[in-house]
Amino acid sequence: MSVIPHKGYLFQRDKGRAIWFLNGLLTWKAGDRETEGRWELVEQLCPRGFAPPVHSHDIEAEGFYVLDGEVTFVLDDERVVAAPGSFVYIPAGTKHGFVVESAVAKFLTFVVPARLEPFIEELGQPAGTSSLPDPPLPLDVARFEAAARKHGQKTWGPPPEPRT
């Protein structure tokens, strides 16, 4: 199905623009082009240990809805554990990060306004399949920080580690 801006559309399971980012699969269900920059919705499938560096967004707010698995979120200096059915809201400017605790987790990420996709495109690569990348893409911290600055983000620290 082709997506026509300013019209409704349907993406079935495993459909959407997929990008391998670090060791996860991110699939855009709605992005800048489809929502005229208002918001984006990303389905993330990530294995245990998937964790971006702790960072903040100058403009974007994010919401995370956990569908399957367990994810620990860092919100400023607090850690909260999100199980299936949990929703985590992160206002713009909040230092945050997350790490997948379970063998795999699936969650939706809602971003307002739609500005995450170009950042992920810069660091990831188009997914060849609807599965996790094998081998995982490594985290190049210097490249991550440079892309973060370019896209209105600040990096505050290393990725959180999963609980033992």
| pLDDT beyond 90 at 69 | yes
pLDDT band at residue 2 using 50, 70 and 90 as cut-offs: low
- Asked whether the predicted pLDDT for residue 1 surpasses 60, the reply is no
> Which pair of structure tokens corresponds to residue 32?
């800048």
What is the C-alpha to C-alpha distance for residues 66 and 91, in angstroms, rounded to an integer? 18
Cα–Cα distance for residue pair 48/94, rounded to 1 Å = 24
Reduced to 3 states, what is the DSSP secondary structure of residue 14? coil
How many whole angstroms separate alpha carbon 41 and alpha carbon 159? 23
Which of 111, 130, 119, 6 has the alpha carbon at shortest distance from 64?
A: 111
Between 53 and 139, the higher pLDDT residue:
53
pLDDT at res. 77: 92
In whole angstroms, what is the distance from residue 3 CA to residue 11 CA?
Answer: 9
Q: What span, in angstroms and rounded, lies between the C-alpha atoms of 56 and 76?
A: 9
Q: Tens of pLDDT along 81-106?
A: 999 999 999 999 999 999 999 999 99
**Range 116-139 average pLDDT:** 92
**Domain at 17-127+137-157, CATH from 3.30.70.1280, 3.60.15.10, 2.60.40.10, 2.60.120.10:** 2.60.120.10
Q: What is the rounded average pLDDT of the residues 144-156?
A: 95
| Pairing status of strand 17-21 against strand 125-126 | antiparallel
Percent of the chain with pLDDT over 90: 82
What is the domain partition of the chain in residue ranges? 17-127+137-157
C-alpha separations of 14 from 25, 29, 53, 130, 158 in Å:
11, 10, 27, 6, 31
Reading phi first (left if > 0) and then psi (alpha if -120 to 50, else beta), residue 22 is in left
